[in-house]
Chain A
């Protein structure tokens, strides 16, 4: 049932021309995928998918869509003109994948794991995979810096020095000598 929801909402995501509707169907497909992952005993990653993607990334998508596309994108036809070729290529790919995947059946021996998924993931993540974990933290930091520095409003208000103005300055710009009569203040 979740797989059916996932496939249907993914189809609607790529088929709808309205970007807002497409993004909302993408949210639905993320929810269905998270349910599938939780059924596969990956509870922590399912919850992370809901929190990070539905909570943060899709909010960002909707924000960008609603600030940038006001009316223009929904009117013009956004389908590419050679979509039959694309459909043929993708159908070929799908047939190949399905024929390969249904040709053999893996023996599925299911042993229900008793250990907590989150605890197991955390214990292996902080011991064996600690360097990739720190590299990912660094990557997130780079992402934050890039997203902030791409904001054009920051660049406009920045106070910075102009070296050409600094070396072209003349003494008359800085100090003005005036002549005045000496006077004695009583």
Chain B
């Protein structure tokens, strides 16, 4: 019998991995975007596990909206990344200092 805690533990480990990826790949934007996808995946797994064990479908509706917003966010982030690469030929976060006064 799989309890709710097991799903929550898996999702906590997944969230920690995404957080770790966000911290150690601070320099490349594409790794940052992928780590953000991992964080959202952990949150969505939490929502679906709660929705299953508490017999409420509102969690799944919420996951639906999170998926839509995350897809829009990834699309716009990648479009910005392409524009940035064409302008500067580099995607390093530390080299984006053109707004510094």
Contact = CB atoms under 8 A, between A and B. Distances in A.
Interface in A21-42: 22-23, 26, 29-30, 33, 36-37, 40-42
B32 to A, nearest CB: 11
A108 B53 contact: yes
B48 A40 contact: yes
Would you list the 4 A-B pairs with minimal beta carbon distance, nearest first? A14-B21, A86-B23, A143-B72, A97-B12
Interface string A73-97: 1000011100100110111011001
Contacts of A6: 10, 14
A33 B40 CA distance: 11
B41 A29 contact: yes
Nearest to A10: B17
Contacts of B6: 3
**Main SS at interface, chain A:** helix
Contacts, number: 206
Interface of B: 1-10, 12-21, 23-28, 30-31, 33-35, 37-38, 41, 44-45, 48-49, 51-53, 55, 57-58, 60-61, 63-65, 67-69, 71-72, 74-76, 78-83, 85-86, 90-91
Interface residues of A, number: 75
18 contacts: A14-B35, A23-B34, A33-B44, A42-B48, A52-B67, A68-B82, A68-B85, A69-B91, A78-B25, A94-B13, A94-B16, A108-B1, A108-B3, A108-B53, A111-B55, A136-B68, A142-B72, A150-B79
